[in-house]
Structure 1
C-alpha cells in the first residue's frame, strides 16, 4: 500500500473532524500552487475565494461567505489553526454528533463573515479575510460553554480547565483588535459568540445545525435517482434449496476481522495497525 492509498484509507475511516482537516490542508495545497507568488513570498487570493468587505464584490460572490473559511495565507496560519481545530473537535465530538459539528462549522463561518462585512462597512474600512479561525473559535467556545470545568492536559503546562484555555485565546484576540488584522479578529470574536449562542439555544431545545441538514437533504433529494417501482411477481411456492453454509462462515469471519481492526484503531489509533491490517482494510473498503 502506497502513501496515497494510506491517506485515502485514513480519510475514509476517519470522522468528520479528520475530514475537515483534510479539506483545509487540500485547499491550502491548491492555493500554494495557484495563488502563491514565490517572487514576493505572499498569497494573492482572488475575490471569488477571499471574503471582501466591498458590497460590489460579495453581493456578486455570496459563496465567499463560506469559501474563505477553508483557505489560509501561510503554513503557520494553517498549522496553528489545524492544531486548535483538532483539539477542539475532539472535545466537541465527545458530547455532540457529526451533523452538529458540521452545521456549527459552516453556520458560524457564514455568521462571522456577515459580522466582518457589517463591521468593516460601519467603520468605513475596506479589506478581505481568509482562514478557518472563526469556525474553529465557534467549536472551541461551544464545547467550553457546555463543559467549562472539563480538565484538559496541555504540553509543558499540565492539567488546566477548558475555560482557562478559551479565555486566554479570547483575551489575546481582544488585545490585538486594534493592532493588526482587525477583520480577522472581528470574525474570530463573532465565531466565538455564535458558538456560545448555539449551545445556549441547544440547551433550550433549538438545534441550529438542523438548518444545514434540511438544506443538504433538499439538494440530496433533488439529485437522487428515483427508486425503481416495486413489481409484485406471483410465483408458485417452492421450498428453497439449501445453500452451502461455507459462504456465510467466510463472510462472518471477514466481518469479524474488520471489527477487530476497527476496535484496535479506536483503542490505539490508526498507526498501531500492521501493514497487513492496513492492506486488508483498504481491500475490504473497495
Structure 2
C-alpha cells in the first residue's frame, strides 16, 4: 500500500514548470544567489571585468546615476565563496523555518523588505560616514532570521554562538543579535579608521524590516509585545508540526489509505521532519497492517 507509490520506486519525472513551481521561496532565493554568483565569477575570471558590480552593487554614486534597481540587486552579488556560503546557510535554516510558518509569498515579501531596509540604513550611514559599496544577501537573510525569532519569541532554541551550542529563548537571541550588530555598526563601520568589510548597517536595516514585517503580519498587534500573549497568524500555508493536534479515523482500509496518501504527499513536499507524532503513528500502523 505504501511502497506501491511512484516516488518509492523511482523518481517521478517533472517538467521545468513543475520543478520551479514547487521549489518554494527559500530554495528559489538560494538558487538565484548561486546563479548570479557563478555568473559574476565567470565574467571576472574570463574577462577581468567587474561589470556586474558596476551596474548592480549599491552605492550613493550608483543611486545618483539613476540605478534605482541597485536597492535590491546588490543582494545578488557576493565577494567570495565564504560570503555566499554563510548567507545561503542562514537563508536555508532561518528561511525554511519561517516559510513553514507564514508561507512562500510572505517569506519572499519579508526578504524583499529586509533587503530594501538594509539598503536604506546603509545609504543613510554613508551620508554621515564615508562612501562605500554594498553587496551581499546578508540584509535579507538576517531579516528572515529576525522575523522568525520575533514570531517564535517564547520558544527556547539551540543556537551556535562562536562555535558553541547555546540554548536560549528566541527573544533573547534577537536582542543579543541586534546589540552585536549595533556595536559593530558604531565601532567598525562609522569609525573614522574603518576601511569597509562587514555591512553592519545593512544588517541592522534587515533586522528592523524583518521585525516590522513580523509585527504587521500578526493578527493582534496591540498585544504583540506582551510575550506571553503572542500568537502566530492563523492564515498560513503550513505551520510547524507541533502546532497541530488532530485525530483521524483509520479503522477502515479506505480511510487509512487516504490518510497515508496525504501524509506521504506531505513528506514528499516538506520533508519527514514536518510530520506530527500522530502522522508518524499512522504510518507505523499502516506498516503493521501490511
Shorter-chain TM-score: which interval? 0.5 to 0.7
SS in 2 for 1:203: coil
1:1-286 to structure 2, matched below 5 A, reads 11=20, 13-35=22-44, 45-54=52-61, 57-123=63-129, 125-154=130-159, 157=165, 159-177=167-185, 178-179=187-188, 180=194, 181=196, 184-203=199-218, 262-265=265-268, 266-268=270-272
Note closer, same or farther for the CA distance 1:52–1:146 as it changes in structure 2 (3 Å cut): same
SS in 2 for 1:62: coil
Instruction: Kindly state the Cα deviation for residue 158 of structure 1 after the two structures are TM-superposed.
Output: 5.9
2:5 counterpart residue number: none
Instruction: Kindly state the Cα deviation for residue 191 of structure 1 after the two structures are TM-superposed.
Output: 1.1
RMSD: 3.6
CA distance in 1, matches of 2:198, 2:158: 31
Scaled by the length of structure 1, the TM-score of the pair is: 0.62
Measured against aligned partners, the alpha-carbon deviations of 1:251-281 in whole angstroms (never above 9, x if no partner) come to xxxxxx9978644423438xxxxxxxxxxxx
1:243 counterpart residue number: none
CA contact (8 A) 1:66 1:106 kept: yes
Q: Aligned pair count?
A: 215
CA distance in 1, matches of 2:159, 2:120: 33
Note closer, same or farther for the CA distance 1:191–1:260 as it changes in structure 2 (3 Å cut): closer
CA distance in 1, matches of 2:261, 2:47: 46
Instruction: Kindly state the Cα deviation for residue 91 of structure 1 after the two structures are TM-superposed.
Output: 2.2
Instruction: Kindly state the Cα deviation for residue 32 of structure 1 after the two structures are TM-superposed.
Output: 0.9
Scaled by the length of structure 2, the TM-score of the pair is: 0.62
Name structure 2 gaps, 5 residues minimum. Answer: 1-9, 189-193, 222-259, 274-290
